[in-house]
Amino acid sequence: SRVLSPESSHSALNTQHSGLPVRQMELSSPVISDAIIEEIRRNEVLGYQLIDTTFPLSGGEEALREALHRIRSDAERAVHAGYAVLCLSDKEACNRGIDPIPSLLALGAVHNYLCRQGLRDRCSLIVQASDVQEGHDICCLVAFGADAVHPYLMLRLIKDGLTFKEAETKQEVTISAHECLENLFAALEDSIKKVIAKMGITTIEGYRGAQLFEAVGFGPEMMEFLGDFPSRVGGLGLKELVEDAAWRVKTAEDMFARNRPMGKNMDYRAFNAKVRMALRDAVKEAHPEPEPGGGEMAYTAPPKEEDPEAPQRVAEKWVKFTDMVNTRPPTVIRDLFLVKRAAKPTDLKEIQPAIDLIVNHFRGAAMSHGALTAASHQTIAAAMNELGGFSNSGEGGEARFRNDAPERPWGPFWEKTLADRAAHPEIYALGGDLRKSRFRSRVRQVASGRFGVDAEYLVNADELQIKMAQGAKPGEGGQLMGKKVTKEIAEIRYGRPGNDLISPPPHHDIYSIEDLAQLIYDLKSVKPGIPVSVKLVAVENIGTIAVGVAKAGADVIEIDGIDGGTGAAMLSSKEHAGLPTEMGLAEAHQALVTNGLRTSVRLRAAGGIKNGYDVIKYALFGAEEFTFGQALMVSVGCIVCKSCHIPNCPTGITGSPEIFKGHPQHTKAYLMQVAEETRSLLAQMGFTHVREIVGRSDLLVKNPRLPGRAALVDVSKFIRPDMALAELEKNFPQTPAQAGLCDPPAEKSLNRRIVEAARDAVDTCLNADLVFRIRNSDRTVGATVAGLIARTYGREGMPNHRRVKVSFEGEAGQSFGAWCVNGLDLELRGFAQDGVAKGISGGHVVVSLDYTASDYGGEIQSVAGNNVGYGATGGTIFIGGLAGHRLGIRNSGATIVAEAAGKYACEYMTRGRVVILGPIENEVGSGMTGGELIVYDPDGDLALKLHAKSVAVIDCGYVDYEWIHPLVINYHARTGSRQAEWLLKNWTEVRRGRKLRKVLPLGVARKMEDFAAVGTNAG
């Protein structure tokens, strides 16, 4: 809520208790209706003053400037006159010749002026505006100082209700004016909550006036009124605003004069229909479209006949496509630049080969199976693999049959998979090698949801990528709607068909650069030597962030921008969040050079790359690797209709796979043409290799023929002549390890000693029992031997129930038992830090105290830190004491037992079982969509500790007690837990008293006919 008042909250409270008239009004929302604004206007005690925010259009920019100064003065006089509420209103713009001042500009002018005069805390500001169209507009106004917003024109549009056709059913739907109003306010408020949550803010009061923005395209004249926040590339002034206002008036008059409806959006789209069709025409020359519904043979089998003339036809149509891209109106920042050519071009024969460019410099973007169908996802992966390149799995995991076979495959799964490859090697096997999968994504992503991330998934990667954010929606998590969660996707992600799958906004094991360094260490421990990339987005101060990531030990830093995303992100995020890739890339490159770290990492650019000219420009800004996303989708048929969030894709790429017509040859032809164009441009510039031009921004020049407003953009910050990578490489080390920036797994680390001791047992498939002392400097212990088992046998672990058991005594560092697999049993007598058993997929991880050696008293002891079992997909975790916050977060299949747990247990859980035998703290089950949590609840207050919007609590039934009892017996045997011992001795009383309660996702609980009936069988 927000209080309209002339005083600070403290003095307002004093006024209430003094018996004087109360000069404040509490609002439940920053968005107010017609009725609320009228109530405020009539409140004589509060003191309401209207300030007109219009200007005479005929007066041009001078009239606009004078109007801005006038409203500042009007506001100052109103405050001195004692008015508590100032309403900045553009309603007078209804009169002919009078135009509204953009509401954000008017508010910024008043808010910042009153702040400078020391008057802002003496009044509240309401914005009554006609240009508010969505939640982003309201967020901007609140962040620039508005206490409330009255979107009167938006409300006028729904005053008679609405009639429209429902998108999926095509049926006509009528909604009353009251329903429209409720729906509109709910949508706007949800949008506001989403935005402020991304910034880590929980109240409107904390967001009001924060100005947490960066402007792209505002010139100094605008910033004079808007206030002190970044606008690094300059741009529009008051003159251009007046021109826009005049254009809108003329367009509206023409519309009414001709009785024509409003025209379509006239913004230029980078992948408009003509550009899209030109690209598809070029790549279809490489291979005809298969018939839809033809199954895997249609979209994966190589062409039966080679057409020797196809490459020439592809090249001719490619020129048509790339000319469209290169001559388009200035759309992105790189369009403002031309590239300098050399007086003497290099012979094309001396240029880096096209295949070398693809293998060493081109990458596929992270697009998950879920966002894409299996058909389109596998088609892109097959194309990249056949070229020797790298596709990216995205954050949704990967079907197991797409992995390379382990060294010693066994069991029904691998028998069937290898049989399929033998029957159809041209479809499933890469290069005829049955052990190699044609569909394997060589880059495997680890995101906050940890979907499908286990040791087998990780060891099948040639690069691991930590996704910190996404260009299309920075600061947000992901959500795959339940209607897209098929049986296949649910199996891969360890969820349930039809249930929403949610990625948390942050990684819950990363709250600092040191935490990021730990996750990098975790990944390099499970597969020593593997490069790790970190995906960031272009935001303010990305340079500082990139320096920290380099120091954390990343091998590659990927910078994504506002052009990223498959189309499943929210429209408001895609249009308003994040910055252009060029800004983030240039800043990151320059910061790394300044700090002497540039040669320690590779920079990768992502965001809207379409042709070789884009590759060259991004290289000049500082990138040596380039990520292709949307263009790859277009190459296999995407029409960029932005309907990726629903399962009814018109081309079968993000839904309806039966109509998919794409083919790996289409993507291969596209990438080869990009590479050849890049080679041609390198030759024209007088170079032979991409690395020679990385950071050579001095070879960029602003286009002197830029049309209109594009010429206003200040590009000086992009051009730094002293930033060439080739010169830096002569003086600096090449890898993070050489630079001393990370702590790679040492040759004689505890992990290494465990592997040396266990290797023979793993190789010969025999049991082994090992004992080691452990210290808190020993991190990610057990991960390397888990990776060895996964590479040798796969997720199944060793056959015939063989296992390696490793016992430890002491205090373990972070990530003890991470990535544990079937066939591995890790037991610690002592304490462990955060991240115990993260990513476990099988085996056992036990952490407990040695009660026989020392008496810790009667209270439950804390033995494990936060995030126990984060992202677990299987296995068993026993914590013989108190586990910290977020126990079982994103659990997708593990069985976890602990004596007690901290806050936020079982967040975003989708499968598995968690049993807490003692006290548990608040906010249980936030975002939980599957699995079950059992809690010993002797005081009956568990319901008060739940996240009520996500979960519900019921009594355990007969079936529940039947599986809980043997589990607690096993837990007691492994941990010696006194709490478990007491419960087992009093099991009959516990059952009769119904002291064990079950927490279920709200959706699951609602499907039960009677919650109480479930517990009547307990006995």
Domain match, 771 and 643 both: no
Angle at 684 between CA 681 and CA 686, to 5 degrees: 110
Q: Is pLDDT larger for residue 677 or for residue 2?
A: 677
Last residue of one domain, picked from the residues 728, 759, 779: 728
Helix axes 612-621, 310-326, angle to 10 degrees: 50
Domain match, 819 and 670 both: no
How much of the chain, in percent, has pLDDT values that exceed 70? 90
**Backbone dihedral angles phi then psi of residue 953, each to the nearest 5 degrees:** -120, 140
pLDDT(566) > 70: no
CB within 8 A of 500, min separation 6: which ones? 479, 480, 481, 482, 485, 929
Domain match, 233 and 376 both: no
Res 1014: pLDDT: 44
C-alpha to C-alpha distance for 319 and 240, rounded to whole angstroms: 35
**Could you give the count of Cα atoms lying within 13 Å of 6 in the half-sphere of its Cβ?**
20
Q: How confident is the model at residue 6 (pLDDT cuts 50, 70, 90)?
A: low
C-alpha to C-alpha distance for 929 and 610, rounded to whole angstroms: 39
Phi/psi-derived region of residue 830, left when phi > 0, alpha when psi is between -120 and 50, beta in every other case: left
**Mean pLDDT over each residue of the chain, to the nearest integer:** 89
Can you tell me the mean pLDDT for 184-192? 92
Domain match, 685 and 786 both: no
Can you tell me the mean pLDDT for 966-976? 97
Domain match, 803 and 863 both: yes
C-alpha to C-alpha distance for 1007 and 931, rounded to whole angstroms: 15
Of 85, 211, 70, nearest in space to 147 by CA? 85
Ranges 514-528, 638-652, 703-717, 890-904: which has the least confidence: 638-652
Domain match, 637 and 758 both: no
Flag whether 328 is in a domain: yes
Res 505: pLDDT: 82
| Per-position b or e across 650-676, b if 16+ CB within 10 A of its CB | ebbbbbbbeebbbbbbbbbbbbbbbbb
Res 306: pLDDT: 67
Of 717, 710, 678, nearest in space to 694 by CA? 678
Boundaries of domain holding 356: 292-300+319-403+440-728
Last residue of one domain, picked from the residues 257, 278, 310: 257
Q: Is pLDDT larger for residue 562 or for residue 474?
A: 562
Pairing of strands 911-916, 874-883: unpaired
Reduced to 3 states (helix: H, G, I; strand: E, B; else coil), residue 354 is helix
Ranges 225-239, 443-457, 768-782, 842-856: which has the least confidence: 842-856
Flag whether 269 is in a domain: no
Number of domains in the chain: 3
How much of the chain, in percent, has pLDDT values that exceed 90? 69
pLDDT(112) > 60: yes
pLDDT(21) > 60: no
Flag whether 650 is in a domain: yes
Res 747: pLDDT: 57
Res 1012: pLDDT: 46
C-alpha to C-alpha distance for 554 and 463, rounded to whole angstroms: 11
Res 3: pLDDT: 59
Most confident of 10-19, 61-70, 198-207: 61-70
Tokens of 904: 């936020």
Res 871: pLDDT: 96
Res 1009: pLDDT: 46
Domain match, 330 and 232 both: no
HEC sequence for 790-813: HHHHCCCCCCCCCCEEEEEEEEEC
Q: Is pLDDT larger for residue 418 or for residue 263?
A: 418
Flag whether 787 is in a domain: yes
Q: Is pLDDT larger for residue 657 or for residue 605?
A: 605
Ranges 160-174, 326-340, 998-1012: which has the least confidence: 998-1012
pLDDT(565) > 70: no
Ranges 6-20, 358-372, 986-1000: which has the least confidence: 6-20
Q: Is pLDDT larger for residue 52 or for residue 163?
A: 52
Res 1017: pLDDT: 41
Ranges 113-122, 571-580, 693-702, 920-929: which has the least confidence: 571-580
Tokens of 776: 């808190």
Domain holding 217: CATH number?
3.20.20.70
pLDDT(8) > 50: no
Flag whether 484 is in a domain: yes
CB-based contact 838:818 (threshold 8 Å): yes
Ranges 308-312, 749-753, 861-865, 941-945: which has the least confidence: 308-312
pLDDT digits (tens, 9 = 90+) for 670-716: 999 999 999 999 999 999 999 999 999 999 999 999 988 999 999 98
Flag whether 756 is in a domain: yes
Q: Decide: pTM greater than 0.85.
A: yes
Flag whether 720 is in a domain: yes
Tokens of 954: 């019921």
Flag whether 190 is in a domain: yes
pLDDT(885) > 90: yes
Res 627: pLDDT: 96
Domain match, 721 and 756 both: no
Cα→Cα distances 410→146, 405, 413, 798, 940, Å: 65, 10, 8, 9, 49
Domain match, 858 and 981 both: yes
CB-based contact 377:436 (threshold 8 Å): no
Can you tell me the mean pLDDT for 789-808? 95
Count of CB atoms within 10 A of residue 730's CB? 7
pLDDT digits (tens, 9 = 90+) for 211-230: 888 899 999 999 999 988 88
Can you tell me the mean pLDDT for 546-572? 84
pLDDT(878) > 60: yes
Domain match, 336 and 222 both: no
Domain match, 632 and 710 both: yes
Last residue of one domain, picked from the residues 205, 233, 257: 257
Domain match, 776 and 723 both: no
